[in-house]
């Protein structure tokens, strides 16, 4: 695989992704929501101004669960489908480059665009939240790291959708449906499974890790040094079963999601090509 060709494709994809106004709106939306949550949290305590990071941690996690997968899915969904619709993909495949160089170059460029959006959101939110003092930079960076892994997993799902569709609009619609399923149906399904089947904590943990958003939620709560008792028996089971190794397990699970989703997307792309 020629690295110079891969990087050239990545630069092109990065420029294309950075022109997407929705990418920046999502990043700014997350930063604005984090600041609003901080102000609201402090106002409820009878003060004025901006609150520290610890005061709004739980609300910030919920905001991340909404915005982070949406960023990854939206960027990934348009990466291949848009070029296929415009006929650009056929032109690129006619050049002396391999399908692997084209695919992974586009994946790298899209990942850099997602990283830029998250850096914008976390940077602005971090600056605002630090005004109130009392924040923990290490914990904040841990949360940002888990968010990046979740965004890349969502990006891989978006690439699968993009590899399967011919129209950018159809890919965006499918990505939005998948986002709704992961965010809302996933939670409701887990609750329904717990109420109807009354599974053991081990079985409920196995069902929980099938959704990367739930894996992120456990990792975010753990990184905030909060007790996993808030997740009920499944949180207690995870803490007892894995102990201090739980963060490494969660990072490994999200990394596995990234590898599997991009691997599946590459297989689909290799078979379909410009079709």
Name the more confident of 270 and 272.
Answer: 270
CA 138 – CA 157 distance, rounded (Å): 29
| Amino acid 52: pLDDT | 46
DSSP label of 233: H
Which of 182-191, 206-215, 248-257 is least confident? Answer: 182-191
153's tokens: 């997993």
Percent of the chain topping pLDDT 90 = 25
Mean pLDDT computed over 94-119: 89
Q: Which of the four pLDDT bands, split at 50, 70 and 90, describes residue 45? A: very low
Which residues, other chains included, contact 198 with Cβ-Cβ below 8 Å and sequence gap of 6+?
none
How many Å apart are CA 4 and CA 100, to the nearest integer?
Answer: 13
| Residue of 183, 242, 237 lying closest to 205 (CA atoms) | 237
Dihedral angle of Cα 145, 184, 218, 257, to the nearest 10 degrees: -60
Distance CA 84, CA 61 (A): 36
Cα 265 to chain centroid, rounded: 17
Q: Greater confidence, 143 or 44?
A: 143
pTM of the predicted structure, to 2 decimals: 0.86
Write down the mean pLDDT value for the chain: 80
Identify the DSSP state of 48: -
For residue 148, CA distances in Å to 24, 39, 70, 186 come to 16, 25, 12, 20
Question: Does position 40 have pLDDT exceeding 60, yes or no?
Answer: no
pLDDT tier at 228, thresholds 50, 70, 90? low
All structural domains of the chain with their residue ranges = 3-272
Query: For residue 137, how many other CB atoms are within 10 A of its CB?
Result: 10
Residues 6+ apart with CB under 8 A from 174: 77, 161, 165
Asked if the model's pLDDT at residue 205 lies above 50, the reply is yes
Residue 124 has pLDDT above 60, yes or no: yes
CA-based end-to-end distance of the chain? 23
């Amino acid at each position: 695989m020629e690295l110079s060709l891969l990087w050239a494709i990545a630069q092109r994809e990065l420029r294309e992704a950075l022109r997407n106004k929705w990418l920046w709106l999502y990043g700014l939306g997350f930063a604005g929501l984090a600041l609003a949550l901080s102000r609201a949290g402090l106002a409820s305590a009878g003060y004025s101004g901006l609150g520290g990071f610890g005061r709004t941690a739980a609300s910030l996690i919920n905001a991340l669960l909404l915005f982070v997968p949406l960023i990854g899915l939206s960027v990934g969904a348009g990466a291949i489908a848009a070029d296929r619709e415009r006929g650009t993909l056929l032109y690129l495949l006619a050049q002396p480059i391999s399908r692997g160089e084209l695919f992974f170059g586009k994946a790298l460029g899209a990942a850099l665009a997602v990283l830029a959006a998250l850096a914008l959101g976390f940077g602005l939110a971090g600056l605002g939240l630090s005004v109130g003092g009392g924040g923990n930079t290490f914990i904040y960076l841990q949360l940002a790291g888990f968010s990046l892994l979740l965004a890349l997993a969502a990006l891989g799902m978006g690439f699968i959708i993009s590899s399967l569709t011919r129209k950018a609009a159809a890919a965006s619609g499918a990505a939005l449906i998948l986002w709704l399923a992961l965010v809302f149906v996933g939670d409701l399904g887990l609750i329904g499974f717990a109420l109807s089947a009354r599974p053991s904590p081990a079985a409920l943990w196995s069902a929980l890790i099938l959704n990367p958003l739930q894996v992120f939620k456990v990792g975010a709560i753990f990184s905030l040094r909060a007790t996993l008792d808030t997740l009920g028996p499944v949180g207690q089971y995870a803490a007892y079963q894995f102990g201090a190794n739980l963060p490494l397990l969660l990072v490994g699970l999200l990394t596995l999601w990234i590898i599997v989703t991009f691997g599946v997307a590459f297989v689909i792309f290799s078979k379909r090509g410009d079709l």
